[in-house]
Structure 1
Amino acid sequence: MTEKKTIKNAILNGLYDRQYQGHQLLTPQLVGNFDGTIWETLRSELTTCKSFTWVIAFITTDMITPLKVVMADLAFRGIKGTLITSDYLGFNSPQMFRELLKIPNLKVRLADVAGFHTKGYYFTHEDYMTALIGSANFTRAALLKNYETMLKLTSTRNATLFSQITDEIQRLRHQSEPLTAKWVTEYAEDWQPPKTRIRVKNTQKIVPNKMQKAALKELQSLITRGAGKGLVISATGTGKTYLGAFAVKKACPQKFLYVVHREQIARKTMESFRRVIGGPKSDFGLISGDHHDFVPRYLFATVQTLAQKKLLQTLSPKMFDYILIDEAHRVAAPSYRRLMNHFQPVFWLGMTATPDRMDNQDVYGMFDYHIAYEIRLKDALNNQMLVPFHYVGVEDYEIDGKVISETTKLNRLVASERVKYVLTQLDYYGYCGSQPRGLVFCSRQEEARELAREFTASGHYAVALTNQDSNQRRQKAVQRLENGELEYIITVDLFNEGVDIPSLNQIVMLRNTQSKIVFLQQLGRGLRKYPGKDFVTVIDFIGNYKHNYMIPLALNDDTSCDRDQVRREVQLPQNIGVSTINFSRIASDRVLASIERTKLDSMVELRRGYHELQQRLGRRPLLLDFFRYGSISPIVFAQNNLLTNYGTFLCKLGEKVTLTQYEDQVLSFITKELLNGKRAHELILLSILQEHQEITEEQVVKVFQQNGCYVNRELLQSVMKILSLQFFDVKAGKKMKKHQYGDQPLVIFADEKYRLNPQIIEALKQNLDFYSLYTDAIKTGLALSKNYDQGHQLTLYEQYDRKDVCRLLNWPLDVSAPMYGYRIAKNECPIFITYQKQSAKQRNALYNNQLQDGQSLRWYTRSPRHLSSSEVQRLLAGVDAGKPKVKLHLFVKRSDAVGKQFYYLGTAKIDPKSVKEELLGEKKKATVGMNLILEHPLSNIMNEMLFKE
């Protein structure tokens, strides 16, 4: 229950005076697409409300898909809503109304009100109401992209404003009628799309778009520098063919060759090049099968024909001065290698959407590691080069309590109950257009054929295509789909690349995701632009698959191997431009379970990521390279228990790295303790001392301040405790606990000056391996430190473990091992809470640390403790007077399954009225409970990450 006082203070904070206690969820605020998106706020309200009523003038079909995902989850909890809209100005399409009728727990009413132009979203919670009123209709552009403003207000139900809102909603209900299928049919008969302003374009001349212009400039720069090869990485559907044509037109070669693996693609590309380059038809020729026309200036060949040894021997190596290889990720194949070994053009251009191959072949090396330009999926979507998508991860069908998995037998995969379930989901989540044009990927050829029969028998005409079907049959099926004669083509990895079906409006994944590359290839099939196609719906049926963790990695182009980051990508709503990524609750749980079962930072994964980046760079990558190129997070190397430092990793890969025992200890210290960048001070000092033999304390203070770092006496003492290694000298019983960093300080402080250990200075001079790895570790740590607010000890909503906190609070020793739930120091007390208990028998399960209203968290001391206990008295000192003597820092993690890291929720104050002695557990041990009031009200995102059930 939310106390009225909390709501009152929140309202006063937002509308009267900020001295009153605010609240992230309840304080009046302006909501827009400038800090997150309006949709995120609406979604958060939906997932926590008891009911809702929306009064919205304009709604577009392109935003209903993500709404359906949330509504399906709400239906499980019995949550219903009402939507009041109208047919004002004919903006709302018949298709949109049809899609709304598919949502069973949404009552839709049509207002009979002239000039209906309102935008209000109203949510009823357990003991308060929230309203968002402003400029945003329920459209994709308004909720994800446009500059819109919504005023968010919360109050108790008996407030005048909300009584007014309730009365107005009731009035609208009386002036409205329920939406029915009959009404939609009648509306569709007379409906005309509203007229929009059309920009007249010159369709005669094809010109490069913004990103193609940038790519052409980089390509020309590469050629000017004398490079003989270049690689363009361009996401599927981003105009790769036209980019190649523009590049060739600019180069103006005497003789040009284009190579691809299919005649259909070669013919289509030839026509595209001719439209761009111009000239007589006789300038363009085909080499494939029986076509051996080598006379034209621009030749388009299939690799199967051109790479024949007898034919190659008849062709001069210098016959062509410009050769373009499409789908260049195939160049490792023997046929392509023969071509590249035979011909000697002035320039080789490779073009591909997927250069990172599963077989570890070095595509980058084949083009001399010259990446002329790169247009990844996110860039293409953000630059509106592709059609936006709505990805929906939905749970696969359960049969007799068993979920579909890798080992499920064929008869269960094609069972009529499953097919009916699949078709119901396809209809529910819908598509853009008058009928579905879908591409379905499944696991087995017989499954594809049987599913096609079942789909067709259910009135959804479908054909199965496999690699056993002729090219002619494939082309005919594609044509029938585009003509509307078919609704679905069902296949097994056949259309991953090289085939264009621009009208596709549904991509259906009825198979286990085993490769990020294949996933993106299949997703990309639906992203090409097409007249009248505003979005593509991607429906992924997620079973109990081992490799479910790959889905968020593929969707977010995530190669970090960082488990925390991947979890966030599943738990929180994601969008790329106006494309959305949505998981149903059950599907989300299945993906999260796969993440927990998978060792993302295994040596196999680290080795794979290393070789991919090595291929891209053409040299041995350093940690800073992983950071710069968005590859594996350097933190993953630091946290891996099998590695002491990056040098250890290189040795495991067979790279030659020579380090003394002491050099290895120094690198291990920097890697394990400093590389995370959570405090930059030590890294800055080590960096300075690498350039200067000594530096005064005054100079160090000045450098810290110039770098935006906070400085005080305790901080300076703490830095030296760390760099002298004294911080790690912790007694375990009567013995000193040993650490792995040796017994020599890295930095010596004497005569008010800092100096680097002479042994390190000498090692930096004598050992290039050590110099490289030492410098790299410091630079990487400084780069990562930008993620933290160095002006303060701790950064709100970042993650820390107990050891981090000991250091960052400037404590003289690492006392994290015996800390457990909290430790009261002289002036500060960090409190660590695990919110979700794994077992009722666990000790910490006795403490019911419930978040009561987004700001107040119930917390308990150890047991046995009494109000009179000295520890409790220290905690409560000054609390009654409003001047507590101990500052409380609150750290929370969702469960023990997420590891040692806790999110920092900021400082908290004890509510003196809530303090009382309680008896907990079967043994009724005494403890003291109290409410901790967060200084910073919890954000929507952190509330969803940590406390949402």
Structure 2
Amino acid sequence: MPAIHDTQIFRRWTWQDFERNLARLLMFAGWKGVRLVGGSGDHGADVLAVDGHDHRWIFQCKHTQAGVGREAIDEVREAGRIYGAHTLCVVTSQMPTRGFIEELDRLQRGGLAIHHIGPGDLVALYQQAPEYMPSRPQMRPYQQQAVENGRNALLERGRAQIVLATGLGKTVVMSEIVADLLRDGLLEEGRVLVLAHTIPLVMQLLTSFWRVLPKDVATHRLSEGEVPLDFTGITFATVQTLQTMTPRALEALPSFDLVIVDEAHRVGAAGFSRIIEDLSATRLMGVTATPWRPDGGSIDRWFGEPVFQMGIKEGLAQGYLSDVDYRIMLDGIDWDLVREASVLGYSVQQLNKRLLIPTRDQRAIEIIRDTWERESRRRGIVFSPSQTHARHFAADLRANEFRAEALVSEDSAVQRFVTLSRFAAGELDFVCVVDIFNEGLDVPDVDLLVFLRVTHSRRIFVQQLGRGLRIGEGKDKVVVLDFAADVRRIHAAMELDDSVGRGEVESLAISRAAVNFSDRSLDSFFYEWIADLGSIKNHDADDVVKLPIFDPTQFNFPEE
């Protein structure tokens, strides 16, 4: 944030600046779980945070040119009721009115204490804050190498691509590179643009960068109608915002010394590459966990070849990702079809429908309950096939004494925020989602993943698995219960070995011993039979496949 030497600076801020910089000051002061919620439909809440006594606070921010009246107190009381906060606080950019102070006194005499932070308090908070946040992450050796390689590539060639699996801290690497370049004065105009494809990812990136940057580096947001008054520092924007700007507005943007594209595998989407070209940045960096584009193309043409890569396999081997206990949950197999398939051939769709007998929802919940108790799990994510299913499955989990909620895109922003906050705080055992957790959102303590939907995208599969790969205190492993009975998915779970396009192969480091079937008779069958047909995962649903000749003498073939 810009240096705060006196209260006059608040007059030059927008109301969005005021809310964001309050959140940033709280983080510098050591508060936990700081979240920005201000916006349309926020019900009077602008910032949520947890103090050192684990009390949830709600902050109502009033950025005005005149005094703040009693209405701010009414708004924060309503927000406290909706969000279930322990403590309420009103933050003002100017001194409040006499009526405001009198109402605070009246409520306090009645037993309701509402706190007030004024402009002078904010100046003091800034002056007391250390240069860096107490929660600033310590760089791991591979992150230091990634930062060095990325920085050098940008200075020497103007292009850099970094590939880090989910959970390995790609945002830490991005922000360290920017902090280094700004500190050393190597960005001529001191202006950086960070692009993401959704508003939630923009906000997550912005707050994640705060943990690494010194307090005097300003951050801005260019999205949802908000245009920074000053672009000095780091601006975070959605690609869609730039795509919808008029040519004149786009040309009016200042030149940026560095443009960073998060989730860089999306750069091939319609209009994305045009925006990159229009920006004409001196330096361009792309960062992603999954460099495989849906159309099979390469992102090297924009960012150059990767200057640093670390995938799931390396992260697991070096102890930076959680161990995986992957269990494929099926009720059984149609052995009559096995006899026929190697002679007749079946489509992938027929194999899925006739060969495998999937476990249904109620049986799935019984298995989840057994795993939860026997493995002492703490927090889980369920990937559902639809929003309707997510809601129903969450209700079924609640009926079985789990604390569970659906977290789906059709919910209001407040609903999603409250659900995610409760989940992060350990107040929910499960969230049931469709695709919200595919990219960007992370809760380190997730130690149980449940797949109830099939995805044939290697990128999405890795992203979903990545939700459980972050290591955390007291976390021994992530247990994966895969109820998505699909021959291609099963093959992918055993070994994810598609080429990334340059000859390198990323293998999912799940050993044979760690992949378990609910029907034990399936083990040798899939490993020795389906696994031999390595191309099965590349077939469309209607493609007919001829499986290898089945020799029952090689397996523990069940008796009729």
- TM-score, reference length from structure 1: 0.37
**Residues 721-764 of structure 1 deviation map (CA, whole Å, 9 limit, x = unaligned):** xxxxxxxxxxxxxxxxxxxxxxxxxxxxxxxxxxxxxxxxxxxx
1:227 corresponding residue in structure 2: 157
Give the Cα separation in 2 of the matches to 1:311 and 1:274: 31
Question: Larger relative contact order (C-alpha < 8 A, sep ≥ 6)?
Answer: 2
In the superposition, relative to structure 1, how do residues 489 and 398 fare at CA in structure 2: closer, same or farther (>3 Å)? farther
Which residue of 1 is the match for residue 78 of structure 2? none
Greater Rg over alpha carbons, structure: 1
Instruction: Pick the aligned partner of 1:528 from 464, 470, 483.
Output: 470
Amino acid at match of 1:278: P
Which amino acid in the other structure matches residue 393 of structure 2?
L
1:622-656 CA-partner distances (Å, limit 9, x unpaired): xxxxxxxxxxxxxxxxxxxxxxxxxxxxxxxxxxx
CA drift of 1:310 comes to 1.4
The answer as to whether partners of 1:393 and 1:588 remain within 8 angstroms in 2 is: no
Q: Is 1:347 matched up with 2:289?
A: no
Aligned counterpart, 1:463:
405
Return the alpha-carbon distance in structure 1 between the equivalents of residues 379 and 316 of structure 2: 21
User: Which residue of 2 is the match for residue 269 of structure 1?
Assistant: 205
| CA deviation vs aligned residue, 1:795-827 (integer Å, no higher than 9, x gap) | xxxxxxxxxxxxxxxxxxxxxxxxxxxxxxxxx
Deviation at 1:273, TM superposition (A): 2.1
Give, as a single letter, the amino acid of the residue that structure 2 aligns with 1:838. D
Q: Aligned-pair distance for 1:357?
A: 2.0
Shift in Å, 1:501: 2.1
> Could you tell me which residue of structure 1 aligns to residue 423 of structure 2?
481
Question: Counterpart of 2:411 in 1: which secondary structure?
Answer: coil
| Cα shift at 1:349 | 0.6
Matched with 1:292 is 227
- Equivalent position of 1:309 in the other structure: 245
1:279–1:543: structure 2 CA closer, same or farther, 3 Å change rule?
closer
The one-letter code of the counterpart of 1:230 is: A
Secondary structure at the counterpart of residue 356 of structure 1: coil
Q: Indicate whether 1:328 and 2:264 are aligned.
A: yes
2:459 is aligned to 517
> How many angstroms apart in 2 are the aligned matches of 1:603 and 1:488?
33
1:643 match: none
Residues 448, 480 of structure 2: 8 Å contact kept = yes
Alpha-carbon separation, structure 2, partners of 1:559 and 1:396? 32
Whether the 8 Å CA contact 1:542–1:587 is kept in 2: the answer is no
Taking a change above 3 Å as real, the CA distance of residues 315 and 462 of structure 1, as seen in their structure-2 partners, is same
Task: Select which of 354, 366, 371 maps to 2:306.
Answer: 371
1:388 maps to which residue?
A: 323
Q: Deviations over 1:5-51 (max 9, x none)?
A: xxxxxxxxxxxxxxxxxxxxxxxxxxxxxxxxxxxxxxxxxxxxxxx
Distance 2:158 2:499 in 1: 30
Q: Which position in structure 2 is the counterpart of 1:213?
A: 144
Give 1:424 shift: 2.6
**Mapped contact 1:432–1:533 kept (Cα < 8 A):** no
Do the aligned partners of residues 472 and 433 (structure 1) sit closer, same or farther apart at CA in structure 2, a change above 3 Å counting?
farther
SS of aligned partner of 2:194: strand
| Alpha-carbon displacement from aligned partner over 1:457-478 (angstroms, at most 9, x marks no partner) | 2222322334433444333222
Give the distance between the partners of 2:243 and 2:550, measured in 1 at CA.
Answer: 63
Deviation, 1:218, is: 1.7
Aligned mates of 1:250, 1:363 — CA distance in 2: 25
3-state SS, counterpart of residue 526 of structure 1: coil
CA contact (8 A) 1:328 1:351 kept: yes
CA contact (8 A) 1:327 1:352 kept: yes
- Give the superposition deviation at 1:571: 8.7
Consecutive unaligned residues in structure 1, runs of 5 or more: 1-201, 574-579, 606-835, 840-844, 846-893, 896-943, 945-949
Question: Aligned letter for 1:537?
Answer: V
Matched, 1:446 2:376: no
- Paired amino acid for 1:440: V
Cα distance in 1 between the residues matched to 2:221 and 2:500: 44
Contact 1:307 1:339 in 2 (8 A): yes
Tell me, in whole angstroms, the C-alpha distance in 2 between the residues paired with 1:499 and 1:560. 24
The answer to whether the 8 A contact 1:316-1:343 is kept is no
TM-score (normalised: structure 2):
0.61
**Given the superposition, is the C-alpha separation of residues 517 and 424 from structure 1 closer, same or farther in structure 2, using an over 3 Å criterion?**
same
Structure 1 distance, partners of 2:402, 2:216, is: 45
Alpha-carbon shift at residue 204 of structure 1 (Å): 6.1
CA distance in 1, matches of 2:486, 2:267: 36
SS at match of 1:299: strand
| Matched-pair contact (CA < 8 Å) for 1:543–1:590 | no
Q: Aligned pair in 2 of structure 1 residues 487, 279: CA closer, same or farther (>3 Å)?
A: closer
Counterparts of 1:511 and 1:215 in 2: how far apart (Å)?
35
Correspondence 1:545-560 to 2 at 5 A: 545=487, 547-554=489-496, 557=497, 559=499
Equivalent residues in 2 for 1:368-767, closer than 5 Å? 369-396=304-331, 418-430=360-372, 436-541=378-483, 543=485, 545=487, 547-554=489-496, 557=497, 559=499, 572-573=512-513, 580-583=514-517, 585-589=520-524, 591-592=526-527, 595=530, 598=533, 600=535
Q: Distance in 2 between matches of 1:235 and 1:582?
A: 24
Q: Contact 2:242–2:250 at 8 Å: present in 1 too? A: no
Distance 1:204 1:451 in 2: 36
Task: Compute the displacement of 1:425 (Å).
Answer: 1.9
Deviations 1:205-251 (A, max 9, x none): 54421001111222233234x31221111100111111001111222
Q: Which AA in structure 2 matches 1:552?
A: M
Letter in 1 for 2:309: E
Q: C-alpha distance in 1, partners of 2:417/2:408? A: 12
Shift of the alpha carbon at 1:520? 1.1
How far did residue 344 of structure 1 move?
1.7
Q: Structure 1 residues 339 and 312 mapped into 2: Cα distance closer, same or farther (>3 Å)?
A: farther
Contact 2:321 2:469 in 1 (8 A): yes
Alignment size in residue pairs: 391
Unaligned runs of 5+ in 2: 1-132, 338-349, 541-548
Equivalent residue of 2:328, what SS? strand
Deviation at 1:347, TM superposition (A): 0.9
Q: Are the counterparts in 1 of residues 329 and 481 from structure 2 also a CA contact under 8 Å? A: yes
Residues 901-944 of structure 1: per-residue CA shift (max 9 Å, x gap):
xxxxxxxxxxxxxxxxxxxxxxxxxxxxxxxxxxxxxxxxxxx9
1:241 is the counterpart of 2:189: no
Deviation at 1:348, TM superposition (A): 0.5
Question: Contact conserved, 2:204 with 2:440, CA < 8 A, in 1?
Answer: no
Report what 1:838 is aligned to: 551
Counterpart Cα distance in 1 of 2:222 and 2:509 = 47
Paired with 1:370 and 1:250, the residues of 2 have a C-alpha distance of 22
In 2, the alpha carbon distance for the partners of 1:432 and 1:306 equals 50
Amino acid at match of 2:145: A
Distance 1:285 1:396, change over 3 A: farther
SS at match of 2:490: coil
